[in-house]
Structure 1
Amino acid sequence: MQQTPERIQHLWSRLVTIGGFTYESRPGPRSLTGWQGEGYGRVQVDETIAGELHFIEQGHFQLFGGQNIEMHNRFIWRKTTAGIALSHGRRGEPVFLFELIPTADGLWKSAQDHVCINDLYSGELRESANGFELTWHIDGPKKDEHLFYRYFPDNS
């Protein structure tokens, strides 16, 4: 297995190639949100800040048995000494989600669960031949959420 700096650089070089995503949200049995459905869209990668990549996502989300919603997200990837941290760009401010550290070949896991008010965020990233899959888990008094992203290169 590669050493951590090489693994970080390897994943970083793959992040800059991303151009699209699919998304699935599945609430667990304790969820009170009812946020269930599937989405897809395009990713614009912004590299204007050294050591930081912004995924500017635009697409559509179809609620299970319901309406089609336009989705817009900004996710911020930042290199750390141990791995890569992920934050959500909310209202112009980054909100830390979790830091992913390399474990087995092609697999990254949260260094630790991140507490946000009453909720715990964790994640796992699995590299694949065509991009990577990012799985989030959000557990809290009202949340039992499972989010599945699949990111793939811009082949246009």
Structure 2
Amino acid sequence: MTDNHAKALTQLWCRLARVTAFSFTASNGPGSTTDWRGHARGTVELADNGQQLLFLESAHFTHSDGREMDMRNRYRWTLLPDSVRLEHLRRAEPVLLFELQPVTAHGFRQVAPHLCGADEYTAELLLHANEIELIWQIHGPRKNERLHYHYW
């Protein structure tokens, strides 16, 4: 890993440890048969044990047709020597989503796609001056979705 990539990883970790809020937008593209469209804005309760950060996300999701529902997610970020790991803690066992490695001084990309059945998940993360942007793409036989997070 280059010095710039090591600095990017350190900067990302420091910024993740200060997150208190997020916004989320779900959209789908051509060929998608899901109805996962809408947005949310909420809070992040953070638990930090040094090498891992637990994000407890809470928000109200507003579907594109106006329906509202509670949205809660539990994510665990883990600092690794060359990357950060993102896991979803939805079930009893953590689900590995991505390991994100620096590709530029402010940009990260998944090391390998996450496969869930016939669906493939990819992600990129961008560090901006005032926020962290995380973009997931999900492609599969019935899915063409984009999940767009902003953390600050």
> In the alignment, is the contact (CA less than 8 A) between 2:5 and 2:104 conserved in 1?
no
Paired position in structure 2 for 1:109: 109
Return the alpha-carbon distance in structure 1 between the equivalents of residues 6 and 106 of structure 2. Answer: 14
Sequence identity of aligned pairs in percent?
Answer: 36
Q: Which TM-score applies when normalising by structure 1?
A: 0.91
Match of residue 70 from structure 1: 70
Contact 2:62 2:68 in 1 (8 A): yes
Residues 89-108 of structure 1 mapped to structure 2, 5 A cutoff: 89-108=89-108
Aligned to 1:31: 32
Task: Map 1:3-152; keep pairs closer than 5 Å.
Answer: 3-48=4-49, 50-152=50-152
Offset, 1:3: 3.7
CA RMSD of aligned residues (A): 1.4
Pairwise CA distance, 1:124:
0.5
Q: Is this contact kept in 2: 1:89–1:95, CA < 8 A? A: yes
Normalized per residue, the structure richer in strand is 1
Q: Deviations over 1:54-95 (max 9, x none)?
A: 110001110001311110001111112221111111123210
> Can you list the C-alpha shifts for 1:33-61, whole angstroms capped at 9, x where unaligned?
1100011100011113x411111000111
Compute the displacement of 1:4 (Å). 3.4
Contact map agreement 2:7 2:105 (CA 8 A) in 1: no
- Could you tell me whether the CA contact under 8 Å between 1:4 and 1:83 is conserved in 2? no
Structure 1, unaligned runs of 5 or more:
none
Separation in structure 2 between the aligned mates of residue 76 and residue 44 of structure 1, nearest angstrom: 12
Q: TM-score, normalised by structure 2?
A: 0.93
Structure 2 unaligned regions, length at least 5: none
Question: Aligned partner of 1:118: which letter?
Answer: A
Give the whole-Å Cα distance in 2 for the aligned partners of 1:28 and 1:41: 25
Count of aligned residue pairs for this structure pair: 151
Amino acid at match of 2:36: W
CA distance in 1, matches of 2:57, 2:102: 25
